[in-house]
Structure 1
Amino acid sequence: MTDLIAGLGIALVLEGLLWALAPNLARRVVAEIATRGNGGIQATALGAVALGVFLVWLARG
């Protein structure tokens, strides 16, 4: 449970950094995502999930 909370904290830090350091870029990214179809968004999201699982697997051994 501690690892889950730490992981969520890291995710919030990374999200917050993007919006704090480059809010205009973040707005453009969100606007670009809004123009994409569901299939492309789902494929990208599944790729991100797979990459995340792989990174956790590497880190945890």
Structure 2
Amino acid sequence: MIELLSALGLAIALEGALYAAFPGAMRRALLSVSVQPEQALRIGGLIALALGVVIVWLVRG
């Protein structure tokens, strides 16, 4: 549970750093995502999920 919460905290910190460093780019990215079809978002989410699992598997392996 500690590792899960640590990973969640790290993800939130990284996202916050992106918003702090590049607020305009993040706003444009969010606007771009809002007009994408749901199927494209779903595929992107599945790819990100798979990539995350592979990274964790390689690191923790």
TM-score (structure 1 length as normaliser):
0.96
Shift of 1:54: 0.6
Partner of 1:20: 20
Matched residue SS, 1:36 = coil
Pairwise CA RMSD of aligned residues? 0.5
**Mind listing any 5+ residue stretches in structure 2 that lack a counterpart?**
none
For each residue in 1:9-58, what CA deviation from the matched residue of structure 2 results, as whole angstroms up to 9, or x when unmatched? 11011100110000000000000000100000000000000000111111
Moved over 6 A (4+): none
**Mind listing any 5+ residue stretches in structure 1 that lack a counterpart?**
none
How many pairs are equivalent? 61
How much identity, in percent, do the aligned residues show?
Answer: 39
| Cα separation, 2, equivalents of 1:57 and 1:41 | 24
